[in-house]
A and B are shown apart, each in its own frame.
Chain A
Amino acid sequence: MLLPLLNKLPFGSRLKRLLRPPGALPADAFADACIGCGQCANVCPNKCISLQGLDEGLENLGMPVISARSKGCLLCMACTVVCPTGALQKTSSDEDGMSSVKMGVAVVSFDVCYSYAGRTCGVCYRACPLPGKAMRLGLMETPIIDPNQCTGCGLCEQSCVHMPQAIRVLPIEEWNKNKEAYDIPPPLPPSPFARSKK
């Protein structure tokens, strides 16, 4: 019962990995550079960047963080332009700049997703800023994600109609650490011609 409280201690959340704004340096370099001035959160037109409070420990105090389920990143790159310390590297807002961003990787929970259960959905594909590259559609509009091209903007997670979300963005540090556990081939959806059980 007391175990979750350990995470609230200053050193408890050291391993916690959070989704940072686009163009962010790797976790350690980012913590060295970011002074928590809030300029990125200030210019974000989507208001997806918020400043972290004390709830993630002193390591993340005042740092910008994106919670993709409530708001994903539009990849407009306004935050990378204003960042004074270079914690967010300057990135262009065209398609090249977009695909160079690596905030995280989206991972589908196949047992939750509507499309993988045979009920055609495809909402996440419509939300993806790099359709056809980062996300392809399989049979029955099942999302198939290319981990090398996915930017981790979180628009798919924001738009997912299932509750809880069937697609989640893992921060890139988390993905790199547990790649084998998350990178599993997508199963085939059930055949639409199979007779439904009563």
Chain B
Amino acid sequence: MQLKEIKIGHGKRLIFSSIISRIVVIMILCALAALTDYNNQKLAYNNARLVEMSSGSTSKFYYETADRFFSLHKEPLQASQKNAGMTWSIRLMGVPFTDPIAAISVLVRRHSMETGFALGLLAPLSMALLFGRVFCSYICPASLMFFFISRIRKLLLRWFLFPEWSAGKGLAWGVLAGGLAVASIFSHGVWSLILPYFAIGQTVFHGLAMGSLSFTVASLVIFAMLDLFLGKQFTCRYVCPTGRLLGFIGTHSPAAIRRKASDCLEPCTNCQDVCPMQVNPKLDETVDCSMCGECMVVCPTQCLSLGWRHTLQLHPKE
């Protein structure tokens, strides 16, 4: 029986949706940080007019919007308190999500885990098992920053010559091991200096909820410099241990970018050149593919598509 080909989307649509979904994630982070203010006003005033008198009409608007949303549930304050956290460990309407790195870090140091904490691993791990590194191009707010930095890099490359430094996969594993060692000596908080998305979460939280500039901006600047001068999406490829771990988990993910070998042009290397993760779709490599869809845009014959891996066999190599 021939399996029907599933086309989830065209390349440009994928890039667009990845940008939109990451912007939504950033907006959720900002909203969570702003919820701290809402909790405070809810407890202190519990009255839209008093909020306006003390903090202005903009505050009143946000307060009323949040109040309307959380009043759908029984207790607005308790409903809003079910949402908290940042990309490192987050809770949305009571559903916990845990970063696998956080779980490893706690396991290494404490040798035990809370049940809710372990349950929070379910969604990230199953997503990695099914789709590979989709976290990197659809959820990670830092990779949105790196996406735009890679565009700036492309622009600067017209006038300057930056090297494309290539480190091995071992670097990210080394960062993971080193981070675990540092975290077990000091505190798990040092990951906020190592993981770009945790750094963004900290920055947003410190900026919006506490009104202070976070130290993690420094590490974000360092990551941005790495990306700008050492290689396209250098941090995602070689430094970020989460991406490496998720890529390792999703090595045999059923969803993948597939190539119709009969349509593929022999001398063309567009997909290979454009791939931010330096995966080579031409050789049917799918490990570390984050399904960003950039290769599908540049492919002149539209031979690349997103679908299930086992349907690759329908297009045998010539």
Contacts and interface: CB of A to CB of B under 8 A. Distances in A.
Contacts of A47: 36-37, 39-40, 209
A70 to B, nearest CB: 12
B47 to A, nearest CB: 15
B307 interface: no
Contacts of A45: 39-40, 42-44, 77, 81
A53 B42 CA distance: 27
A14 to B, nearest CB: 10
Interface string B76-112: 0100011111101111000010100010011001100
A50 interface: yes
A58 interface: yes
B188 interface: yes
A53 B217 CA distance: 12
Nearest to B119: A84
A38, A59, A78: most-surrounded residue (chain B CB, <10 A): A38
Contact of A82 (B81, B102, B106): B81
Contacts of B302: none
Given A33-B106, A37-B102, A38-B205, A60 B96 contact: no
Given A41-B209, A43-B39, A58-B186, A35 B84 contact: no
B117 A42 contact: no
Looking at A10, A43, A47, the one whose CB has the most chain B CB atoms below 10 A away is A43
B187 A63 contact: yes
A31 interface: yes
B91 A62 contact: no
Given A43-B84, A51-B202, A84 B35 contact: no
A21 to B, nearest CB: 13
B85 A37 contact: yes
A42 B35 contact: yes
B202 to A, nearest CB: 7
Interface in B174-220: 182, 186-193, 201-202, 205-206, 209-210, 212, 214-215
Interface residues of B, number: 51
Interface in A113-162: none
Contacts, number: 135
A99 interface: no
B205 A41 contact: yes
Interface in A33-87: 33-47, 50-54, 57-63, 74, 76, 78, 81-82, 84-86
A32 interface: yes
Interface string B240-261: 0000000000000000000000
B116 interface: yes
A78 B190 contact: no
Contacts of B205: 38, 41-42, 51
B172 interface: no
A34 B86 CA distance: 14
A73 to B, nearest CB: 13
Main secondary structure, interface of A, reads loop
A53 B214 contact: yes
A170 B70 CA distance: 38
Contacts of B109: 32
Interface string A80-98: 0110111000000000000
B271 interface: no
A86 B98 CA distance: 14
A85 B106 contact: yes
Interface centre among A35, A53, A63 (most CB of B within 10 A): A35
Nearest to A32: B110
Contacts of A81: 81
A39 B89 contact: yes
B102 A60 contact: no
B206 A34 contact: no
B32 interface: yes
B120 interface: yes
Interface string B211-241: 0101100000000000000000000000000
B206 A51 contact: yes
Nearest to B82: A82
Nearest to A58: B186
9 contacts: A37-B88, A38-B84, A39-B85, A42-B33, A42-B36, A43-B39, A51-B205, A74-B43, A86-B117
Interface of A: 10, 31-47, 50-54, 57-63, 74, 76, 78, 81-82, 84-86
